[in-house]
């Protein structure tokens, strides 16, 4: 059974700092890995999707990398802003006939002005 772990559970940084969020998964036979953002009481917003054949994806100040063989992904946020404060969730799609994403518990990020 796939398990996804996110470390740290919470992170507080001063505005302007670059930061890295970590995600690990136990079964490397995945189709894709997705990073989402969730604001309190809201749904999830898709940030980046990395296909299994890709190593990284970039969108603005966000860069996500994928090392499938080691079961790891990182989300790099450059020049953090208070508006980046949210919970960031990592999820993997195992495929093999299944359409379900397996999520980690998330990292709660606070960017202090």
Partner 1 sequence: DTGVSQDPRHKITKRGQNVTFRCDPISEHNRLYWYRQTLGQGPEFLTYFQNEAQLEKSRLLSDRFSAERPKGSFSTLEIQRTEQGDSAMYLCASSPGHSSAYNSPLHFGNGTRLTVT
Residues of this chain that bind partner 1 (CB under 8 A): 4, 31-32, 34, 36, 41-46, 49, 51, 89, 91, 93, 95, 98-106
* Cβ nearer to partner 1, comparing 71 with 104: 104
Residue (41 or 113) nearer to partner 1, CB: 41
Q: Which residues contact 58 (CB under 8 A, 6 or more apart)?
A: 48, 64
DSSP 83: G
Which residues, 6 or more positions from 25, have their beta carbon under 8 angstroms from its beta carbon? 2, 3, 4, 5, 33, 71, 72, 73, 92, 102
Q: Smallest distance from the beta carbon of 103 to partner 1, in angstroms?
A: 3
Contacting residues for 32 by C-beta, under 8 A, at least 6 apart: 49, 50, 51, 52, 92, 93
Tokens 């009481």 found at: 41
Q: Please identify, using beta-carbon distances, which residue of 77 and 92 lies nearer to partner 1.
A: 92
Q: Rank residues 18 and 46 by Cβ distance to partner 1 and give the closer one.
A: 46
Instruction: Provide, rounded to whole angstroms, the least separation between the CB of residue 16 and partner 1.
Output: 29
């Amino acid at each position: 059974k796939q398990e996804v772990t996110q470390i740290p559970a919470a992170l507080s940084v001063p505005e302007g700092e670059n930061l890295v969020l970590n995600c690990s998964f136990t079964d490397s036979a995945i189709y894709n890995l997705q990073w989402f953002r969730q604001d309190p009481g809201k749904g999830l917003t898709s940030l980046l999707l990395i296909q299994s054949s890709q190593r990284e994806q970039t969108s603005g100040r966000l860069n996500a990398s994928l090392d499938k063989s080691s079961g790891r992904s990182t989300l790099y946020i450059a020049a953090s802003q208070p508006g980046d404060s949210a919970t960031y969730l990592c999820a993997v799609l195992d495929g093999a006939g299944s359409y379900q994403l397996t999520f980690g518990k998330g990292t709660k990020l606070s960017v202090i002005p």
